[in-house]
Each structure stands twice: as C-alpha cells, then as structure tokens.
Amino acid sequence: MSRLRRSALAAAAALTLGSGALAVASAPATAALPTAAIAIGDSFISGEGAGAYTTVVDVNGVAQGFPGWSGANANAYFCHRSANASLQVAALSGINARFNLACSGGQPHDIANASHTRTSGRQVAAQLDQLRAVAQTHDIDLVLVGLGSNNSSFTFGDVATLCANRFIADAWTGWWEFWAYLNGPVPQEPCTDADLASAAEVAAATTETTNALRQLITTLNQVDADGQHRIVFQDYTNPLPPDLYSSFHTQDSRDDTRDKFRELGAERYAGGCPIHRASLAPGHRFSANLGAVVRNSHANLTAEFPGQDLVYLNVQRAFDGARLCENANSPTGALATPVRIMDGPSGTFIQSLSGYDKIAIQRFANTCVTYFQTCQESWHPNAAGHAVLGQCLSAAATTANRTISCIRNANGAITFQ
C-alpha cells in the first residue's frame, strides 16, 4: 500500500457523521515503514576484498561469525558482506536502513534458491527469501544488484585462478621439468579467449541472469510496501590494466615469454598482478562480456517491464588509472586487492614469493585449492575501490537516465556519462 493511500484512509476514518452526530472513532493511522536499500548478488556487491566483514545469518537462522581460516568454505560468513561495501558507503538520500544480502560466489541460482543446494554453494537462504524478510519491516526503495560473473557455465574465481596459476607455473617451472612436475604436466601458456568464456557460454549466462532478475522484479512488485523502487544493475570492472606498467615488463633481463622467470614472477606477485601480459587482452574481453551479460539482461527486462525503474550502471572504467600494476608502486594506491595466498590456513598472507622454489609454490597454491577462503579476496575491489563504487551507486540512484557510466579520470575524479 502506498503512503498516499495510507494517508487517504486515515483521513476518511477521521470524518464525523455531521453536526450533532456521533463521531466515528478514528482508526489508528498506519505508520509509513522506514525505507531501505538492499544489495543482491555476488562478490562485487557483497564487498569481497573490502574487509570489515560482518556476521551472516545462515540458512538455519544462526548468525555466523568468522569460523577460522580452516573452517568450511560453505560457511555463511564467507559470503564476506563488508561494512565497507559500496551499498554501505554510498550517499543515498532518503534511505533509513541498508541490508547487504549479497554473497561472495553468488550465482543466478541463488536468487530464488538456497545457495547450499548447488555445488560449492554457501549455507545461506535464497536471496529472495532474505528480501521478503526485509520487506516485512521496511519499504524497499533501492536495490543494487550485481549478477552474472558467476553462473553455471563459468565463474570469475575460476577464470582468475586459471590465469594466475598458469603464470606462476611458467615462472617457476622450466621446460625440462614440465613433464615430470609433481603429478604431471602443468599448463603454463597465457590464457586465451577460448580458455575464459565462449560466445555460447556468454549467451547462456545472459539467459540465466535475465531469468533470475525477472524473479527479483516480480518478487519486489509483490512485497514492496508502496510498489515504488529503483533497481540498479551494476556490471564489473577489471582489476588489471590493459597493459602492465613498464617496470613490470622484465626482471633480471627476462620477460614472461622466456622459459622460467622467477624474479619477474616474484615482482609481479608482489605488485598484485601475477599474470602473463598476453593474458590481459583476453581478460579485458572477458570483462566486456560480463558487462554485456548485465547490459543485455537490463535491456531484455526493460522491454519486458516498461513501467519498472531499471537502471544499468556501467563501472567498467571506474578504476581507470588505479588498477593493479598500472603504476610503479602497485599495489599501493590500487583500487583492487592483490592476489595473495597463504602457506596453510594461518591467516598470514605471503607478501613475497622471492626465494621460494617450485615445491613451496605448489604448496601455497594447494592451500588456496583446499581452503579457498584464504585467497578468495584476490582481485576484488578493496575498501578504496568500494568507496569509488559507492560514488557510482549514488549517481545511479538519482539519475534520470536508464543507463549511466561511471568513469575515473586521470586526476582521480569520478565523472558520469
């Protein structure tokens, strides 16, 4: 029921029967619900990489705090909902409360279904069920949704792990060791477009994402107190630049096309960008494809629901000039978290790989495989990055347009188109 409709009913209840007639008792006016902004989706929305993670209520209604680095990755806490997430730091006029319902690793499946009912899901209820609970006590005016980077065809985490691992293997393993290396051959070539997401997979991801967002729109129309809300569809920004800063090109007279380049590998790891330069262009095309998933989902649903307030927020250039290894002092000043791993679930990140042999490197990599939570922050927006994304969200919340692009300029200022 809208606020206008509630006021009309209250006024009607206050009318009397006329002069000298018994007055009709006034019905208590229904107080307007406090307004809320909600985050729905995956790690780029939940605040993965931004720190200050809060407790998360699991599928059984139990609030889960940090379970320790060796805890199950399925634990609800590892949704990594951050107090520094863009939803929490954005300037949102007229909003009384904010609810982060997003979950790191979230997929379109998780919108209408409990995450744990799919492979590698987390122990949290369906995000629409969480939204319905909020709607019981709040009038939802704004929804920030980030969805599509993880789906049944590919996930951002798998793509990032694939390309980083190939670089590390190439840096530390010589051609003569290749076939005898531990349990067999280790891929060492740069990532190509074929390794990331095919056109068919992008199309399938678009359909999957569109279907999930259709369920979100339908549910909001059913449960929102006044039926008035804006949904902002945010896409993704690449944590790496189109090319690395020149000081990251070579080390010890070796580039990443040579056989075994440990010093260069260590230098790029320290800078937060352990990746072949040849992998960067396919990676940016992959990011553009993620943007297309969100943009096309928005276009499809705008046509299907012409009366809905749906805004597409393009943030693909929001980190321009401040990506990892885009400047000489990286990761200082970068807006994304560097790749960081642990030697076991210790909580202590390895800052430098210099001096380690290939056996130690493999042990570190295995920690990430066994305890993914120890490295899942890698290549996500950090707190400073979410502060920028918060500016982008503030603009998207008030724009009169159906689409808006958020761009970081050379001087660090954020502008909008």
Looking at residue 232, its amino acid is V
Peptide bond into 331 cis (omega under 30): yes
The Cα–Cα gap between 123 and 134 comes to 19
Region of residue 79 (phi > 0: left; psi between -120 and 50: alpha; otherwise: beta):
alpha
pLDDT at 12 (0 to 100): 32
Burial 107-146 (b: 16+ CB within 10 A, else e): bbbbbbbbbbeeeebbbbbbbbbbbeebbeebbbbbbbbb
* Residue 140 near residue 221, CB atoms below 8 Å: no
DSSP string, 87-108: HHHS--TT--EEEE---TT--T
Question: For position 30, what pLDDT does the model report?
Answer: 52
Residue 186: phi and psi, rounded to 5, are: -115, 120
121-174 residue pLDDT tens: 999 999 999 999 999 999 999 999 999 999 999 999 999 999 999 999 999 987
The per-residue pLDDT for 328 is 98
Determine phi and psi for 9, rounding to 5 degrees: -65, -40
Q: Say what the pLDDT of residue 177 is.
A: 60
Taking 50 as the pLDDT cut, the residues of the chain under it are 1-29
Q: How far apart are CA 413 and CA 58, in angstroms?
A: 39
